């Protein structure tokens, strides 16, 4: 499976790579690597075969990844549809715990009306929420924690 953002940690910084080796390393096409060279990936010289230093490749991939990264300010959640951080509709969000230490903030995007999510630590939730009105839902009750057994349950009532 091809990834949109190749893992820069696979690159060995003290090695030189050819276009074909980079394509094989990231499971991409050779033309993708040639496009990266046109976009600014530095080569050692203009001679064939083109050699790319591992350090230059790693720096290029890290710069590509951070160029498009958008951090959310306090009170904002990232909308995947709009591809930008936004304040939730009505400045309301719901906190759903995943574990006792962290959970997900869920809200509705005011522009496209899709669901926005943000993973937050319960200890830092006041800093992240800003002026949002956050409602806290209880943790999802597990089947074993339920006091009433379902009709199709295989559990004994002694548990």
Q: What is the pLDDT of residue 138?
A: 65
Q: What is the pLDDT of residue 99?
A: 86
Q: What is the pLDDT of residue 68?
A: 74
**Cα distance between residue 6 and residue 14, in whole Å:** 19
Instruction: Please state which CATH number belongs to domain 8-67.
Output: 1.10.10
Domain residue limits, the chain: 8-67, 72-159
- Output the CA torsion sign for 126, 130, 136, 140: negative
- CA 111 from chain centre, in angstroms, equals 22
**Cα distance between residue 112 and residue 114, in whole Å:** 6
Q: What is the pLDDT of residue 146?
A: 57
Q: What is the pLDDT of residue 149?
A: 57
Residues lower than pLDDT 50 in the chain: none
Q: Which phi and psi (to 5°) does residue 155 adopt?
A: -80, 145
> What is the number of H-type helices and E-type strands within the chain?
4, 8
């Amino acid at each position: 499976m091809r990834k949109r953002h190749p893992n820069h940690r696979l690159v060995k910084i003290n090695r030189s790579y050819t276009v074909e080796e980079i394509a094989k390393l990231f499971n991409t096409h050779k033309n993708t690597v040639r496009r990266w060279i046109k976009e600014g990936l530095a080569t050692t010289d203009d001679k064939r075969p083109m050699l790319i230093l591992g350090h230059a490749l790693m720096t290029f991939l890290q710069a590509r990844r951070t160029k498009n990264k958008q951090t959310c300010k306090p009170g904002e959640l990232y909308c995947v549809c709009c591809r930008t951080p936004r304040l939730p509709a009505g400045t309301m969000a719901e906190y759903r715990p995943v574990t006792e230490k962290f959970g997900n903030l869920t809200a509705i995007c005011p522009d496209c009306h899709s669901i926005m999510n943000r993973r937050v630590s319960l200890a830092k939730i006041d800093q992240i929420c800003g002026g949002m009105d956050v409602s806290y839902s209880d943790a999802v009750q597990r089947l074993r924690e339920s006091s009433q057994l379902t009709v199709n349950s295989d559990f004994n009532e002694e548990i």
